[in-house]
Amino acid sequence: MDRLWTCYKSALDTAAWEVLGPHRQAKQTWISNATLSIIEQRRKAVLVGEVEEYKRLAGPRRRALRHAKHQWAERIALEGEQCLCSSEIKDAFTKFRQLRPERYSAVNATEGYRWKPAV
């Protein structure tokens, strides 16, 4: 019975891989699909061993990442401004707080300091 299940599961996985392709998901929510495709091209160039292609895609990848993050920040800032215009201070603060770098996190006051690097 286990053998039958593993054969069935592998057949389903293979068919899904061929039809749908790999599941691409960004680690950061602000990375766009266009940027993900550039990252995937660069990754494939490394796997194949095309060093020149890998180096050539470094610039477009950096530019696409900067552009995607800028677009994300602009969208968050506009949503925050709309919250301020409608007197929703708490929601606006939440939006603006998303723009803060995540490397710092609040610490208990009992520990003696307010901010520390996130682990």
pLDDT digits (tens, 9 = 90+) for 28-48: 888 888 999 999 999 999 989
User: In sequence order, which residues have a C-beta less than 8 Å from that of residue 54 and are 6 or more positions away?
Assistant: 42, 45, 46
| SS3 call for 115 | strand
Mean pLDDT, rounded, of the chain = 83
What pLDDT, in 10s, does the model give residues 83-95?
989 989 999 888 8
In a domain, 118, yes or no: no
Between CA 21 and CA 40 the distance in angstroms is: 12
Are the C-beta atoms of 57 and 65 separated by less than 8 Å?
A: no
In a domain, 57, yes or no: yes
- Dihedrals φ, ψ of 29, to 5°? -70, -20
Between CA 91 and CA 94 the distance in angstroms is: 5
Number of domains in the chain: 1
In a domain, 94, yes or no: yes
Give me the pLDDT at residue 45, please. Answer: 93
Query: Which domain, by its residues, includes 72?
Result: 26-100
In a domain, 60, yes or no: yes
